[in-house]
Amino acid sequence: MIKRIISKSAIFLRIIFLISVFLILLIGGFTYKHISNLTNSSKLVVTTFKVNVELEKVMSYLKDAENGHRNYILTKDTTHLEPYLTAREKVNESFAELKEIANHGPVQEENLKTLSKYIDSLFRNFTQTSAFVENGFALTEEFKSNFFEEKIIMDSIRHKISEMMDLENRHLQERQKQYQSNLEFTPLFLYLMLLLTLVLIIVSYSKINNDFKNIKIINNQLSIFKEATIQLETVGKHGNWVWYVESNKYTFSDNLYRVLGEKPRAFEPTFEAFLEFVHPDDRKKFSADVERMMKEEDLPFTYYRIIKKDGTVKHIKGYGKLLINNDGEKRIVGNITDISDEIERFLELEERNLELEKNNAELSEFNYVASHDLQEPLRKIQTFISRLEDKEAKNLSASGNQYLERIKVSATRMRLLIDDLLQFSRTNKPDKEFVLTNLNELLEQAKQDVAETIIEKQAIITSDVLPTVSVIPFQVHQLFLNLLSNSLKYSKVAEAPVIKITYELVHSKDDINLINIPKNEYHKITFSDNGIGFEQQYANQIFELFNRLHNKQEYSGTGVGLSICKKIIDNHNGIIIANGEPNIGAIFTIYLPI
């Protein structure tokens, strides 16, 4: 939780601020308290000093009175009584002071009372002694006793005053000690508090500075982002809106207005104002979507039309997402996109596709029909050629027989071509049904179809066990047949053809031929032979329709076989690759996806 608080700048700064304020107030309070204590301490010193001074004064007055009184006793001169006569009043003045400034504890108050009594006794004693002297009873026993009593009273007064001064001084020392201990602690404490406050202020400043820099950077980025967004909106025909959930207010971006065909801020951004633009047929659905958005606080993709004021209808795609900011305020931020162009293109594409499909179908039909219809007259031609050969050959001249032979070869060739074209058109037919088929069976069938040629050429065919795969059976049979036929046809004259059929399950990332292919695993079937081979530069050319590397005199053929193989592999979303080396052999690699 502490980490969260520190990461959230505002709270962290507030806490630091409050702590600093608290510390400053604390320091202020402490400082005031201690200055106050210092003042009190100095006042206490002054008070103790004053008390001691007054007590000394009292002592001095009493001594003067005593001296004056004794001088009077000695000389009987009443002028010496002046200090005695004024002493009482002066002592009263001192007492008036002492009552207010002396330590108000019960002990000192009692001391003052006792002192007052002593002084009163002393003055009575003085009066009595004076009376003795005035009446001529000086130096009598009573006088002596009285005189002695005076000394005792004076001693008592001296002792009491000393006691009071000691008490004041002790009190002062105690308070001084207390203040001293506080004073020792206070400067260090204040210094530490100040340091702490300083550290906090520095930390706050540093944080604020960093935050300010970050905010500046973010602001710059936001400005760029905002500009980029505006441009993106304009180019991409987007408009943004924000719905403030709690206050139920909307804001529209400038480009949103443009998408609706209006100038920016042409009207107040409200749901009702926007609804005016929605196509009447779509308003119900749109309103329902918006209502759901308000309840669920989310707006998945929604599609509707709008009608601009000039009557143009536009297709719109809308989307909204809930955002909750750091203060817990909910907003739904949404986007509308004018997808009219995409819709138009899509419709156009669909139309063209339909047209293409129609054309393809017609072409395939034409291909098939033409091949099929051509077969009938061709069959007739070959039949009558055969009859001519059988019955009229001896009636024909040498050149006539030669011409007939050439007609026969051409007819045969045409037959082959029509057969191959028929084959080709079959691979184009749309009804391609994939069936889980054991490829070994298809290979065997193909081998059976060319069994005579295999025997004639003493060909050796070896094959790995092939898997069971979902394929179009008759097409894969044709594929295997064509590849085997080619290997047998293009074998070396003096060498028996050796055809190897190997199988492997490969991953696209492990096979160099599959590097850019998205599918993961493939069935790799390889047909390799030891025939005449071909130049590798023709590896792609040989799969083109009617394309042959040799003329018909060298090797028979129509140039359609490998095109058919390519077409079949395309139908299975596979790949066929040819590799050849003249006089070494050819390798045809087929990849069928799993």
Partner 1 sequence: MIINKNIKKQLTLTLIISVGVSIFSCDFDRDENENNLYNNEAINKRVQVNIEEAKIMSDIAILNETLIAMSDSVKGKSNNYHVKNISNKLKKDNLKIKKSLNELAEKKLILLPNKIDENEILELHENEKADFSEIYLKKIEALLKNQITQLEYLSNITNDVDFKVLTVKILVNLNYNLNQTQKILKTNY
Burial of 558 (0-12, 13-18, 19+ CB in 10 A): buried
Please report whether residue 517 would count as binding partner 1 according to CB under 8 A: no
Phi-psi map region of 99: left, alpha, beta (phi>0 left; psi -120 to 50 alpha): alpha
Nearest approach, Cβ of residue 112 and partner 1 (Å): 6
CA distance 514 to 316: 41
Identified binder of partner 1 from the candidate list 51, 65, 73, 98, rule CB under 8 A: 98
Residue 178 as a binder of partner 1 (CB under 8 A): the answer is: no
Give yes or no for residue 196 binding partner 1 (CB under 8 A).
no
Whole-number minimum distance, CB 319 to partner 1, in Å? 26
SS3 per-residue string spanning 47-58:
HHHHHHHHHHHH
For partner 1, the binding residue among 3, 104, 391, 394 (CB under 8 A) is 104
Instruction: Give yes or no for a contact between 468 and 439, defined as CB atoms under 8 angstroms apart.
Output: yes
Strands, sheet with 299-307, edge to edge from the N-terminal-most edge strand: 249-252, 238-244, 330-338, 313-324, 299-307
Q: Is 474 in the site for partner 1 (CB under 8 A)?
A: no
Does 97 interact with partner 1 (rule: CB under 8 A)? yes
Stretch that binds partner 1, among 92-100, 295-303, 467-475, 546-554 (CB under 8 A): 92-100
At closest approach, how far in Å is the CB of 194 from partner 1? 16
C-alpha span between 32 and 28 (Å, rounded)? 6
Measured between alpha carbons, how far is 189 from 34 in angstroms, rounded to an integer? Answer: 12
x/- track of binding to partner 1 for residues 325-344 (CB under 8 A): -xxx----------------
Q: Tell me how many residues contact partner 1 (CB under 8 A).
A: 46
Helix (H) or strand (E) holding 433: none
Q: How far is the CB of 84 from partner 1 (least distance, A)?
A: 11
Output the smallest distance, CB 132 to partner 1, in A.
Answer: 16
Question: Does residue 451 interact with partner 1 by CB under 8 A?
Answer: no
Dihedral, 201, 205, 208, 211 alpha carbons, nearest 10: -130
170 belongs to the binding site for partner 1 (CB under 8 A)? no
Q: Does the footprint of partner 1 cover residue 113 (CB under 8 A)?
A: yes
Report the C-alpha gap between 210 and 359 in whole angstroms: 69
The yes or no reply on residue 95 touching partner 1 (CB under 8 A) is: yes
Question: Which of the ranges 121-129, 283-291, 443-451, 579-587 carries the binding residues for partner 1, by CB under 8 A?
Answer: 121-129
| Binding-residue pattern over the window 62 to 91 for partner 1, x denoting contact by CB under 8 A | --------------------------xx-x
Q: Is residue 53 within the footprint of partner 1 (CB under 8 A)? A: no
Contacts of 256 (CB under 8 A, 6+ apart): 239, 240, 241, 336
By C-beta, is 89 or 342 nearer to partner 1? 89
- For 160-167, the CB contacts below 8 A with 24+ separation are 160/111, 160/114, 160/115, 160/118, 161/55, 161/56, 161/58, 161/59, 161/115, 163/111, 164/51, 164/55, 164/102, 164/108, 164/111, 164/112, 164/115, 165/51, 165/52, 165/55, 167/103, 167/107, 167/108, 167/111
Among 49, 53, 99, 359, binds partner 1 (CB under 8 A): 99
From candidates 33, 249, 507, 552, binder to partner 1 by CB under 8 A: 33
Least distance from C-beta 122 to partner 1, angstroms? 10
3-class SS at 552?
coil
Exactly one of 6, 53, 96, 288 binds partner 1 (CB under 8 A); which one? 96
Taking the least distance from each CB to partner 1, the nearer of 95 and 267 is: 95
Q: How far is it, in rounded angstroms, from Cα 12 to Cα 18?
A: 10
Determine which residue in the list 120, 134, 155, 351 makes contact with partner 1, applying CB under 8 A.
120
Nearest approach, Cβ of 92 to partner 1 (angstroms)?
4
According to the binding rule CB under 8 A, does residue 11 interact with partner 1?
Answer: yes
Q: How far is CA 208 from CA 33, 213, 219, 365, 590, in A?
A: 34, 8, 16, 80, 68
Determine phi and psi for 174, rounding to 5 degrees. Answer: -60, -50
13: contact with partner 1 by CB under 8 A: no
Q: From the CB of 9, what's the least distance to partner 1, in Å?
A: 13
From 6, 39, 67, 185, residue interacting with partner 1 (rule: CB under 8 A)? 39
- For the CB of residue 328, give the shortest distance to partner 1 in the complex, in Å: 3
Helix (H) or strand (E) holding 113: helix 106-134
Report if residue 127 touches partner 1, rule: CB under 8 A.
yes
Q: Which of 59, 65, 119, 278 binds partner 1 (CB under 8 A)?
A: 119
**Residue 530 corresponds to which tokens in the numbers above?**
């030891």
222, amino acid identity: L
Report how far residue 298's alpha carbon sits from residue 332's, in angstroms, rounded to the nearest whole number: 7
Q: Which is nearer to partner 1, 297 or 449 (CB)?
A: 297
Strands (E), 449-489: 460-463, 468-471
- Considering the complex, state which of residue 72 and residue 527 has its C-beta at the smaller distance from partner 1: 72
The answer to the question of residue 244 lying near partner 1 (CB under 8 A) is no
From residue 439, how far is each of 132, 466, 527 by CA, in Å? 162, 6, 14
Q: Rounded to whole angstroms, how far apart are CA atoms 249 and 240?
A: 14
Q: Does 182 bind partner 1 (CB under 8 A)?
A: no
> Which residues in this chain contact partner 1 in the complex, by CB under 8 A?
1, 4-5, 11, 14-15, 18, 21-22, 25-26, 28-29, 32-33, 36, 39-40, 43-44, 47, 88-89, 91-93, 95-101, 104, 112-113, 116-117, 119-120, 123-124, 127, 326-328
